[in-house]
Amino acid sequence: MILSTKGRYGLKAVFELSLNYGLGPVSLKKISDKYNMSENYLEQLFSKLKKKGYIETVRGAQGGYLLAKDPSELTVGMILRTLEGEMTTSDCLSKEICSRESVCATRGIFEKIEKSINDVIDNITLADMNKDHEKINTEEK
């Protein structure tokens, strides 16, 4: 399973909002410049996240985007599923009944992989990402 640019860019952009949580809105230009992403593309991604209630828009000269919730309340899984849809490792897992399920040697493995991925992304919050980021920056100095 490979995340599309929607998931990768969206998570980076929301992470940037989490780094600035409580400091006011962040402009699309700032995020776009920092991560070398298209502002128009980011706007499309943020539109989906706004509909879910994860981010808010502030209009005006000093406007931009900010998290609608505390970073500890937003998981990586929430962001990725909003942008990517349900995450699966194999098409056969997204179907309720598979005609070859009784003889399939790989379905059980794919189920375990999918469960592991979901466990990870559902248990890492943006606050956790912030802590990891701070730790890395502290170790580099």
Instruction: Indicate the domain borders of the chain.
Output: 5-140
Residue 141: its pLDDT value, please? 62
What b/e readout covers 26-38, taking b as 16+ CB neighbours within 10 angstroms?
bebeebbeeeebe
pLDDT at position 110: 84
5-140 CATH fold: Arc Repressor Mutant, subunit A (1.10.10)
**pLDDT for the residue numbered 82:** 96
pTM: 0.86
Q: What angle do CA 39, 40, 44 make, to 5 degrees?
A: 115
CA distance 79 to 85: 10
pLDDT, tens digit (0-9, with 9 covering 90-100), for 52-85 = 999 999 998 888 999 999 999 999 999 999 999 8
9: phi then psi, degrees, rounded to nearest 5: -65, -45
Residue 134 is predicted with a pLDDT of 83
